[in-house]
Every structure is written in C-alpha cells, then in structure tokens.
C-alpha cells in the first residue's frame, strides 16, 4: 500500500480524492441541485450497493477461475458451467433439506469433486497445450449445459433465502429528508450485505492462506515457476489437484449465492463466464487482488450503466476492458513481466 503511494503519487492522490467524493456522496444529504444532476439519491445508492454486491459475486467466481489459470495455465471455459451446476445443485439440496448452509456446503464439495475429476482425467494429460485445453473445456461446457437443461428444463430457479438472512436492514445513510426534517434512512436486503461480508472474509482468508501458510507459499511458487517447484521435490500434482478443487468449489459456492440473489436459468453459465473473463482481463490473470479490483469495477460498471445509460450498459464494461488493455495489456494488478 505505502509502496504503491510512493511509486504512484499522482494516481494515489486521484484514488484518495475519488474515494473521498464517494464517501461524501454516500453520507451527505443531497441538495435539490444534486438531485437534478445525478437523479435521486436512493437510485444512486442502490446502484452503488448493487454494484458492490454484484462485484462480490463476480469475485467469488473469478477468483477460482484466476487461481486455476495462474497456477496451472489451465483456461477452464467450463467454469461458468460449474457455477450453474453448483447453483442448481444448491437449489435441489436446499429444497430437500431446507437448509441454505447445507446447500452451500454440498455444492462446494460436489463441484470441487467434479473439479478434481476434470483435473485428473483431462487436464493432466494435456499440460502446456493451451489451445487443446480451451477446446476441451468448451466441449465440456456444451455437454454440461445440455445435461443441466435435460435435468432442470428451461425454467428459472431461485434458491430460497434462509429466514435469518431475509428482509431488509437499515443502513446509517439518509436517502432523503421528509418535510418535517426527519431523515429517511437507506434500507437494503440483508442477504446482499451478508454476501458482501462473506466475499470479503473469503478474500482475506485466501490472501492469508496464500501469503502466510506453507501450502500458499508452494502455490505462489508454482505460479511463478512451476518447473523449479517440481524440481525441488514438491508434489506439484497434489497441489494442482487441491487448487483445482478449491477453484471449482468456489464456482459451485458462487452458484448457490448467485441463485439466492439473482436467478438460475440456462444461459446463465455463459453470462457468468463472460463476466469473469472480463473481470480477470481487467484485473490481471492469476492475481487474487486483481480479481477483487476487476470484480468491483465490472460490478459497478454494470449496475451504474444499467441505471444511468440502460442501452449501452454492456458497452460500458467493454469500453473499460478496452481501455485497460490499451494501457496495461496484462491487467491492472498483474506484475509486469
């Protein structure tokens, strides 16, 4: 952090300034002039929070994707299918047991096992053959998509929100003033806040695991120089399997979460895959902080775009990607080299 400020004083200043303005926009009571300029504060705030929570979901999907890529150079274009599979599975388990947490856990474990199978049965035999891996995962995603369509049909599903997470929560920001001077406070769905907190906790845990544990050290070493790591006698294959399982499991977990506050239907796999592609392109492949930054940017761009320029919302995300590619083709958070 301080390293970044020392290296990029101007950029740091701009970022600090932007964050300060954002905080002021969130906490201040908007004057009628500002309402005329930005629209209603309630709309702005809900776009902001929806963007951040959507970013949390994208982070969960994209961090698994980027972890698998960073370590193994495996491009798993079936990652969206794993998400959808996890979501449907979570729905079924949730209906069966009535417990959201059990659904979350089962989805994580089952999709992680699918990931292990994919790694052992397919990817191990085509290490270093990027194109072939890509094609194989495209084939897999077609098969998965059709199998899921077969089993669940074309209907839309929603995972039931557990009781202790449903309902709104009041946030300490005023959205407007009543005529008698009393402030109307912002209310927001609790489940989205919980997801945001969960994603942050998971992100911090992942960072700690990667940077403070022995396994994390091995994984990072593998990302940097796989051959050297295997030359030191580490059982690289075991680490690969573990990381693949964890990344796939995250996709399954994210599927249940996505199914809770969005919905599940055929085609969602492609949409999530594309979003996570853009997230990791913007953030930088193989970098967890990159996935976080990218997810936040893409989530905010999508939500603000759909509120303030509905026709061109998708183009906004795309323009951001192009701009990042033009300036830093390796992504915002990736190390140069």
Partner 1 sequence: MAIADLNLEQRARPRESFGDWVGRRGTAFWIVAGLLLLMPAIASSFWLIQIVAYAMILGMIALSLMFLAGYGGIVSLVQMTVAGFAGYLVAILGDSAISQISLHWPWWLAAPVAILVATLFGTLSGALSVRTEGIYTIMITLAIASAFYYLTLQNYTIFNGFSGFNGILPPTFLGVEWGQSLPFYYLTLACAALAYGVVVYVSRAPFGLALQGTRDNPRRMAALGFDVVAHRILAYTFASLIAACAGVLLVWYQRQISPGTAGVGPVVDMLIIAVVGGLSRPIGPFIGALVYVLLRTFALDVLEGVGLDGRRYQLLIGLGFLVIVLFSPDGLIGIWQRLRERYRRSGDARNTQMGSGGGSP
Handedness of CA 299, 302, 307, 308 (dihedral sign): positive
Residue from 11, 196, 22, 20 nearest 1 by CA = 11
The whole-angstrom separation of Cα 194 and Cα 171 is 13
Closest distance between partner 1 and the C-beta of residue 293, in Å? 17
**Phi, psi (degrees; rounded to nearest 5) at 157:** -115, 150
> Between 28 and 315, whose beta carbon lies closer to partner 1?
315
C-alpha dist (Å) from residue 103 to 107, 203, 208? 6, 21, 26
> Between 281 and 293, whose beta carbon lies closer to partner 1?
281
> Between 95 and 130, whose beta carbon lies closer to partner 1?
130
Closest distance between partner 1 and the C-beta of residue 236, in Å? 20
Helix (H, G, I), strand (E, B) or coil at 336: coil
Contact between 224 and 87 under an 8 Å Cβ cutoff? The reply is no
Handedness of CA 321, 322, 325, 328 (dihedral sign): negative
Contact between 108 and 253 under an 8 Å Cβ cutoff? The reply is yes
Closest distance between partner 1 and the C-beta of residue 283, in Å? 13
Closest distance between partner 1 and the C-beta of residue 178, in Å? 37
Closest distance between partner 1 and the C-beta of residue 158, in Å? 23
> Between 101 and 143, whose beta carbon lies closer to partner 1?
143
Give the other-Cβ count within 10 Å of 162's Cβ. 17
If you count DSSP H runs as helices and E runs as strands, how many of each does the chain have, helices first?
14, 2
Which residues of this chain interact with partner 1, rule CB under 8 A?
A: 69, 73, 75, 129-132, 134-136, 138-140, 142-143, 145-147, 149-150, 270, 274, 277-278, 280-281, 285, 310-315, 317-318, 321-322, 325-326, 329
Closest distance between partner 1 and the C-beta of residue 274, in Å? 5
Angle (CA) 204 206 209, round 5°: 110
> Between 90 and 299, whose beta carbon lies closer to partner 1?
299
Closest distance between partner 1 and the C-beta of residue 140, in Å? 7
Contacts with 241 (C-beta within 8 Å, 6 or more apart), sequence order: 116, 119, 120
> Between 54 and 285, whose beta carbon lies closer to partner 1?
285
> Between 116 and 313, whose beta carbon lies closer to partner 1?
313
Q: Which two tokens stand for residue 66?
A: 């980027």
> Between 34 and 120, whose beta carbon lies closer to partner 1?
120
Residue from 261, 106, 265 nearest 198 by CA = 261
Closest distance between partner 1 and the C-beta of residue 144, in Å? 8
Helix axes 130-152, 268-283, angle to 10 degrees: 150
């Amino acid at each position: 952090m301080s390293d970044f400020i020392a290296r990029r004083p101007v950029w740091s200043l701009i970022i600090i300034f932007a964050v300060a303005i954002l905080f002021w926009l969130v906490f201040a009571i908007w004057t009628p002039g500002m309402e005329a300029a930005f629209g209603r504060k309630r709309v702005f705030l809900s776009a902001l929070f929806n963007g951040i929570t959507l970013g949390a979901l994208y982070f969960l999907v994209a961090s698994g994707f980027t972890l698998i890529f960073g370590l193994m150079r495996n491009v798993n274009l079936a990652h969206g299918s794993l998400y959808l599979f996890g979501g449907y599975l979570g729905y079924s388990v949730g209906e069966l047991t009535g417990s959201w947490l059990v659904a979350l856990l089962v989805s994580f474990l089952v999709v992680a096992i699918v990931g292990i199978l994919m790694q052992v049965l397919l990817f191990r035999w085509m290490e270093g053959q990027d194109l072939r891996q890509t094609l194989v995962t495209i084939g897999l995603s077609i098969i998965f998509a059709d199998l899921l369509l077969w089993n669940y049909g074309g209907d839309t599903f929603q995972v039931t929100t557990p009781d202790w997470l449903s309902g709104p929560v009041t946030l300490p920001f005023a959205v407007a003033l009543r005529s008698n001077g009393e402030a109307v406070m912002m209310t927001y769905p609790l489940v989205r806040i919980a997801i945001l907190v969960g994603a942050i906790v998971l992100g911090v845990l992942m960072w700690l695991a990667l940077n403070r544990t022995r396994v994390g050290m091995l994984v990072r070493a593998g990302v940097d120089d796989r051959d050297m790591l295997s030359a030191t006698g580490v059982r690289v294959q075991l680490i690969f399997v573990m990381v693949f399982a964890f990344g796939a499991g995250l996709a399954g977990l994210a599927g249940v979460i996505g199914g809770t506050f969005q919905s599940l239907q055929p085609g969602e796999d492609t949409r999530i895959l594309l979003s996570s592609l853009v997230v990791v392109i913007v953030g930088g492949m193989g970098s967890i902080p990159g996935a976080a930054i990218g997810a936040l940017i893409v989530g905010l761009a999508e939500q603000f775009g759909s509120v303030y320029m509905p026709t061109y919302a998708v183009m906004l995300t795309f323009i951001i990607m192009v701009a990042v590619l033009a300036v830093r083709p390796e992504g915002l958070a990736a190390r140069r080299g």
